[in-house]
Amino acid sequence: MQKVIYKDLGSIEYAEAWGLQQTLLSKAVELKRGNRKLKEANEPLLDPIHNLIFCTHPHVYTLGKSGSIDNLLLDEKQLEAKNATFFKINRGGDITYHGPGQVVGYPIFDMDCFFNDVHRYVRNLEEIIIRTLADYEVKAQREDGYTGVWLPANKFMRKRKICAIGVHLSRWVTMHGFAFNVNTDLSYFKNIVPCGIDDPDKDVTSLKRELGREIDMKKIKERLKFHFSDVFEFEFE
């Protein structure tokens, strides 16, 4: 069974976390190259390194490589006034928001040790969030044609996205991941077209909004960790 190193970085600037992801990904790729040479020389292989990072970010908007800058509805001065930053990055997907009250998860996994299927990988991330929400008696689902995790419409509310997912893989090592709205200030989503979805029948939500109370962040991270190890079938070091 694979072993995963868990790190909770707390609140960290987006650029710093991005740099850490890139460093860990480079180390994982380098280890894979080294193991290839060891295998050719019939030498014992080194154990792969997998990391799972949880953190939160100060207010920041990030735009994926397939997204449109038009979906950011603020100019530079307006960003500054809202104490927010902006980054164009190499994950899939369009624009999203990160900020206090979110759990942002960055798995740096060597998928050669699990399975080589990007679609399945994204579905697994969604499954972890769906199971975590079920622990809070919130029914969540996937939405055809979209990534992420959604809550179904009812007579009072539209379909609501509660977790955005965007990933990048290099030599089957993952980076980026998910942004799960737990106690998030949803007003910041009004400054973008979230995930590029301009649909009057869809909205953004948080677990706090759905349950009408503040959520214990430590407890929800423990549930996420449990479901990660269960869905991907690994153990934490």
Burial of 180 (0-12, 13-18, 19+ CB in 10 A): buried
Which residues carry out catalysis?
A: 195
Looking at residue 154, what is its pLDDT?
A: 87
Helices 118-135 and 217-232, interaxial angle, to 10°?
A: 140
Looking at residue 65, what is its pLDDT?
A: 86
Average pLDDT over the chain, rounded to an integer: 94
| pLDDT tens sequence across 128-146 | 999 999 999 999 999 998 9
Separation between Cα atoms, residue 85 and residue 137, nearest integer Å: 34
| pLDDT tens sequence across 215-229 | 999 999 999 999 999
Looking at residue 61, what is its pLDDT?
A: 95
Looking at residue 112, what is its pLDDT?
A: 96
Helix (H) or strand (E) holding 31: helix 14-40
Mean pLDDT, range 113-132, rounded to an integer? 98
pLDDT band at 195 (very low <50, low <70, confident <90, very high): confident
Give the rounded percent of residues in the chain with a pLDDT score beyond 90.
Answer: 84
Would you list the domain boundaries of the chain?
2-236
pTM of the shown model: 0.94
Query: Looking at domain 2-236, what is its CATH homologous superfamily?
Result: Bira Bifunctional Protein; Domain 2 (3.30.930.10)
pLDDT band at 150 (very low <50, low <70, confident <90, very high): very high
Evaluate if residue 186 carries a pLDDT over 80.
Answer: yes
Q: Within a 10 A sphere around the Cβ of 69, how many other Cβ atoms? A: 9
pLDDT band at 98 (very low <50, low <70, confident <90, very high): very high
Looking at residue 199, what is its pLDDT?
A: 74
Q: How far is CA 178 from CA 20, 35, 77, 109, 156, in A?
A: 16, 30, 28, 14, 27
Evaluate if residue 232 carries a pLDDT over 90.
Answer: yes
